[in-house]
A and B are shown apart, each in its own frame.
Chain A
Amino acid sequence: MVEVLGVPLPALLGQLLLALINGSFYAVLSLGLALIFGLLNIINFAHGAFYMLGAFVAWLLLQHVGIGYWPSLVLAPLVVGAFGMVVERLLLRRLYDLDHLYGLLFTFGLALILEGTFRQIYGISGQPYSIPPALSGGTNLGFMFLPYYRGWVILVSVVMCLATWLIIERTKLGALMRAATENPDLVRAFGVNVGLLVTLTYGFGVALAAFAGVLAAPIYSVNPIMGSHLIIIVFAVVVIGGMGSILGAVVSGFLLGLCEGITRVYWPEASSVVIFVIMAIVLVLRPAGLFGRRA
């Protein structure tokens, strides 16, 4: 059997596929984060909490209304996105003219409040959420057993990233969004409601986080601190990709998933650190990140 540094090739292939699956979570989450930073200049520390909210809304819908996974995949992001827009309208909006630090502190506080509230109500052990029947089970690829659900996660994440990129870079709406952040006064002069545009952008970024939350619910347990574990890694991903770069966030999400996966095979103890080591190296060599626009 062919071996790569002592690991059989089929086993390594399996691990790489797993790494891509994790990478797709990083990609979807960092995409929303990059969107919000790139267009609104807000360092959204509450992103992990919105991810958690997405998973919880899906669980609540199932528990109390009997709405299953598929409708939740649309409904939960809508609900959480709407909540995000309310937050933006009522609170976050007041901080745009202040230093970045205020936005960071506000969203960090918001994250703590949301997590604390859910922890108080639902406890810490987590709630079970099953894989939808249509995607349960899996298939043997020869080198590994691939659960259908994980395959679905990769597929839908790639589609989501692509769609978002297309909307931002290739449509009129996307052009307006970018223009509104570049020069709001000028865009306003053309009769565009910039405030609404900003609110929608924030809502969309938040909805992306909630979407990732619903995707994650059947794999990880739905618990109040699921977001706080992930948010730091996702921030590192965004920094490596280049703050605010959408393409950078997506590509580095998948790439770092791979790096982490390979580390898990050869040196598991270091797998939680490897992303931050890469971040440090990237910051030294290319302070603007791999895909950063500004130096």
Chain B
Amino acid sequence: MKTLRTALLGGVTAFALAGAAQAEISDNVVKIAVLDDMSGVYADLAGPGSVVAAEMAVEDFGGSVNGVSVEIVSADHQNKADIAANISRQWIDTEQVDVIVDVGNSAAALAVQEVTKSKGKVHLNSTAGTTALTNDQCSPTGIHWTYDTYALANGTGTAMTEEGNKKWYFITADYAFGHSLEENTANAVKAAGGEVVGVSRAPFPNTDFSSYLLQAQASGAQVIGLANAGGDTINSIKQAKEFGITDAGIKLAGMLVFLTDIHALGLETTQGLTITTGWYWDRDDESRAFAKRFAERHEGRMPTMVQAGVYSAIGHYLKAIAEAGTDEGKTVVDQMKSMPVQDMFTDNGTIRADGRMVHDMYLVQVKAPSESSGPWDYYKIVRTIPGDAAFIPLSESTCELVNKS
């Protein structure tokens, strides 16, 4: 019985390979397009640095795949979903673009997902946080690479509660993103045996958080969960330090904090902050080597997790084209899903049916100034969160591509 199955599988594989051999690479070029916020709020954590990461990925692959050259183009979507959609359409219709990568800003990312899905082109998303990319809005040609809000909230919420910080107070940005971040974290906190003692929904954007911080302190909370991002998070952290809240022993948990945010704030202010990240440059020799090369090309700035994700996703994409012998969207993505992801980004990545790249996440704590050897030496890894525990279980995915039987 077993031999029969093996024989059948072998036959099917051979047939598939024969089919693939006939396919070709369209227009005699593989064109990778990096679309992101190049000048606004996300420009530091992704933006131009993502273009550098993409260039490195192509160079490290040798600059060509199956004898065909690989090119990179990039554009600024200015955080506007309609601009993102227009650029994507133009790229695909008139400029032979095969894959769109990066795409920070969830609204822009969902617009690109829609366009690439309808045109059968590939969308490798690293920077956007929304879980919709692998749920209601999932696509047979879309992969979500680095993180999502669920993984960040779940990782930090679970780990900190399990360490004995049972009472949480949330300071939440009062819009859809903040609410979902708060909900995801609160669920994780409750599941780990903690409780939510209060919530302040702060208008977005906001500069002064002292009022909410003092309310949080008065509530007797052990942890203040910051369900916000960017400038809101930066100001919350800064003011928590100013009002002696962190010195009083209350812990801060950042739900969406990037390495560049820590760089902007300085360690004096951020020390002790607990966050979840999809990648950190100082994790092993491979990641350090990549980071060093990246910094040399990007004004000495170390790569963020999403910039590293862009590198990893493109490398895996080119490997899949080499394997499949074609750049046809669905075929390449299926090929990518069939291969494990192993590079400087992750040792054990797999891509699920819903397009979620599942890999280990890391719970990190920001170092004290005395522990840091200088700029960009910011995190110590507290624990590794296995991929299966980090992301939404496939059984809970609302993606139509998931076969629920």
Contacts and interface: CB of A to CB of B under 8 A. Distances in A.
A261 B211 contact: yes
B321 interface: no
A128 interface: yes
A145 B243 contact: yes
Nearest to A222: B264
Contacts of B206: 272
B294 to A, nearest CB: 17
Interface string B232-274: 0011001100111000100000000000110111101100000
B203 A268 contact: yes
A84 B252 CA distance: 41
A265 interface: yes
Contacts of A126: 231, 234, 264
A145 B212 contact: no
A219 B244 contact: no
A220 B241 CA distance: 12
A125 B260 contact: yes
A124 interface: yes
A128 B269 CA distance: 9
Nearest to B244: A145
A114 interface: no
Nearest to B42: A124
B21 interface: no
A220 B214 contact: no
Interface stretch (A10-18, A99-107, A169-177, A182-190): A10-18
A132 interface: no
B116 to A, nearest CB: 27
A288 interface: no
Interface residues of A, number: 40
Contacts of A120: 39
B218 A220 contact: no
Interface in B185-204: 200-203
Contacts of B184: none
A147 B240 CA distance: 11
A11 B268 contact: no
B41 A124 contact: yes
A271 interface: yes
Given A125-B263, A126-B234, A149 B208 contact: no
B44 A125 contact: yes
Contacts of B212: 264, 268
B215 A125 contact: no
B214 A14 contact: yes
A144 B242 CA distance: 13
Contacts of B211: 15, 18-19, 261, 264-265, 268
Nearest to B237: A221
Contacts of B235: 220-221
A131 interface: yes
A130 B268 contact: yes
A42 B266 CA distance: 40
Nearest to B204: A272
Interface stretch (A195-203, A223-231, A236-244): A223-231
A268 B200 contact: yes
B174 interface: yes
Contacts of A225: 231
A219 B208 CA distance: 9
Contacts of B45: 125
A138 to B, nearest CB: 6
B40 to A, nearest CB: 6
B264 A269 contact: no
Given A18-B214, A119-B39, A221-B238, A128 B264 contact: yes
Contacts of B264: 125-128, 221
Given A14-B214, A126-B234, A264-B211, A221 B265 contact: yes
Contact of B242 (A15, A219, A264, A272): A219
Contacts of B340: none
Choose among B43, B203, B210 the residue with the greatest number of A CB atoms under 10 Å from its CB. Answer: B210
Nearest to B262: A125
Contacts of B202: 268, 271
A128 to B, nearest CB: 4
A220 B238 contact: yes
B215 A11 contact: yes
A125 to B, nearest CB: 4
Given A219-B242, A230-B207, 16 more contacts: A15-B214, A18-B214, A126-B234, A128-B265, A130-B268, A147-B242, A150-B210, A220-B207, A221-B231, A221-B234, A221-B265, A226-B207, A261-B211, A265-B211, A271-B202, A271-B203
Question: Sorted from nearest, which 5 A-B pairs have the closest CB atoms?
Answer: A272-B203, A125-B264, A264-B211, A128-B266, A125-B44
20 contacts: A11-B215, A18-B208, A119-B40, A124-B41, A125-B45, A125-B264, A126-B231, A127-B264, A131-B242, A150-B210, A220-B208, A220-B238, A221-B234, A221-B235, A221-B264, A225-B231, A226-B207, A261-B211, A264-B200, A265-B215
